[in-house]
Structure 1
Amino acid sequence: MECAFCAGGLDHCHGSLVVHLEGGFTECSEDGCVDLDFARHTLTIDCFDVDGGCSCAEVEVRELLRAS
């Protein structure tokens, strides 16, 4: 099976774009991806949802617990 975006010659990435809660920076799960535009990625997630977690997510949870 071939990717429809590849077959159509569209600029895209097969990786997932991860948006970090602390600092708002992004990174991609695909090695070598250098264009972190949201439009190039079909999946965009918060770092909180990354398997194994992220230090940003831990900070966010502590702040939420402190606020309640």
Structure 2
Amino acid sequence: MTIQCRECGAGLEHCHGTVIHHVRYRIECTEDDCTTPEVVHTFRIDCEAVGCQCGQSAAGRAAI
């Protein structure tokens, strides 16, 4: 038994952070200085989950 994740144990490129998808901005990762591609992140969330308002401003313009 090991405390490493499977990707660490296999030597695969990955990140333990979470990708945050923004409506108006580039994606970001919760890990500082992350250069890992989005597709190898295990966790992904929308920016509204962290209190970002960028999606609400876009939805307001579409309703007008």
Calculate the TM-score normalised by the size of structure 1. 0.72
Alignment match, 2:7: 5
Structure 1 residue runs without a partner (length 5+) = none
Aligned residue-pair number: 62
- Counterpart of 1:12, as a letter, is H
SS in 1 for 2:43: strand
Calculate the TM-score normalised by the size of structure 2. 0.76
Q: d(CA) in 2 for partners of 1:60 and 1:43?
A: 24
Seq. identity, %? 39
Alignment match, 2:52: 54
Q: d(CA) in 2 for partners of 1:28 and 1:47?
A: 11
Structure 2 residue runs without a partner (length 5+) = none
Aligned equivalent of 2:17, options 15, 18, 25 = 15
CA RMSD of aligned residues (A): 2.0
